[in-house]
Structure 1
Amino acid sequence: MQKVFFISDHHFGHKNIIDFESRPFKEVDEMTTEMIAKWNSVVGENDKVFHLGDFSFLNKEKTKAIVDKLNGYKILILGNHDRGRSRSWWLDVGFNEVSEYPIIYNNFFFLSHEPMYMNKHMPFVNVHGHIHGQKYEGKNYFNVCVEHWDYTPLTFEQIRDSVVVSEEQ
């Protein structure tokens, strides 16, 4: 059975993100190796992954080498650091689908790179990245930045169940 995963803000090749976000890596190659291993530890070949932006700071060849190592059918929602490159660039490096805009998933989850304005009456949960170690308060937001989840993609069920639990509290 196919699983669906969500993750954001790997920043592959971005040396300074290690210090900016206090990532537990000595250098960028170690970060890359560990993040690929974490992805593949949960994502199977037939699974689907929504990457919510800021994937790589590397050139086309190096980015393609990383994407080729990652399991699953990969969908990229462009983040602020991805937008300097065209949709076709991202498709060429191996993403199966690329969206320049947010996506509504399963009629309930609003997938975007940056947190979107959500008031308490909106029937959606905004699954997002961009803000790294920070968190928005409220049941309408769910941050899937790698820093919050040990650099490991989360399943749809993990997010859904977390949202249901927070609504009950």
Structure 2
Amino acid sequence: MAEVYFLGDTHFGHHNILKYRPEFKTIKEHDDFIINNINKVVTKRDKLILTGDICFNRESMDCLRRIRCPAIHVLLGNHDDYNLDFRKEVNGVCWVSGDFKYKEFWVSHIPLHPEELRGKFNIHAHMHRSTLKDKKRYFSTSCEQLDYTPVSLQEIRRRMKIKQPKTSDWEGLVDKVKGALGVKSKTGTPIPRAVSNNKTGVKKGRRKVI
């Protein structure tokens, strides 16, 4: 089954990052470790979303070329070079963006202000070893928080205790949509449409928004 994975603050080619990641002696050791971890987890069927501060310079884009995932989404961070053409120079990069909505989440580099969440959760990076107190709404994908290994969307949901719709819930939703279209149910019985006013053509009562 294809999955979506997230990882942020890779800082490929950024020599000064070694001051804050003393477990690595050289930037090559640092970059190789992260790339190997990505390739161990993410398959050719998956999508990888890199949540900012990815490449420090043009030379470090070679690190992206070594990632075997053919569907990489680059979300630009404050340390990324906005003059680099990621899509043109790296075959695997299919998307380049700033903050965006994905499923029930906002995906950003820097954590969004709580008032801007508008009922959604926030997958972010930027914090490195620091964490936000609000763990119910925020999830950090900084390398230091994830042992330099990508995390799947399903695992993020599990850790944040986000309840997923049950299969039966989806079936009920499908039946509602089919009912609106006059399509037969699984049992072969037509699902009745909403009753209409013959004179005006306006449906009686208010329909619930699905």
Checking the alignment, whether the CA contact within 8 Å between 2:49 and 2:75 is kept in structure 1 is: yes
Separation in 1 of the partners of 2:110 and 2:159?
20
Tell me whether 1:90 sits opposite 2:89 in the alignment: no
Quote the offset at 1:120 in angstroms. 10
Give the alignment of 1:5-154 within 5 angstroms.
5-19=5-19, 21-59=20-58, 62-72=59-69, 73-86=71-84, 89-94=85-90, 95-99=93-97, 101-106=98-103, 108-119=104-115, 122-138=118-134, 139-154=136-151
The gaps in structure 1 that reach 5 residues or longer are none
Larger Rg, first or second structure (1 or 2): 2
1:68 is displaced (CA, Å) by 1.6
Distance 1:160 1:93 in 2: 33
Deviation at residue 78 of structure 1 after TM alignment:
0.8
> Which letter does structure 1 place at the counterpart of 2:139?
F
Q: Note if contact 1:120-1:140 (Cα within 8 Å) is conserved in structure 2.
A: no
Q: Which runs of 4+ in 1 moved over 6 A?
A: none
Task: Give the equivalent residue in structure 1 for 2:170.
Answer: none
SS of residue in 2 equivalent to 1:16: helix
Question: C-alpha deviations, 1:49-90, integer Å up to 9, x for none?
Answer: 11111101132xx3342112102210011101125325xx11
The amino acid across from 1:125 in the alignment is F
Distance in 2, matches of 1:122 and 1:98, equals: 24
3-state SS of 2:119 partner: coil
Rounded Cα–Cα distance in structure 1 between residues aligned with 2:116 and 2:100: 20
Q: Is the 8 A contact 1:111 1:127 kept in 2?
A: yes
TM-score (norm 2): 0.71
Structure 2: give runs of 5+ residues left out of the alignment.
Answer: 163-210
Taking only the aligned residue pairs, the percentage that are identical comes to: 30
CA distance in 2, matches of 1:27, 1:76: 25
TM-score by length of 1: 0.87
CA distance in 1, matches of 2:76, 2:17: 18
SS at match of 2:15: coil
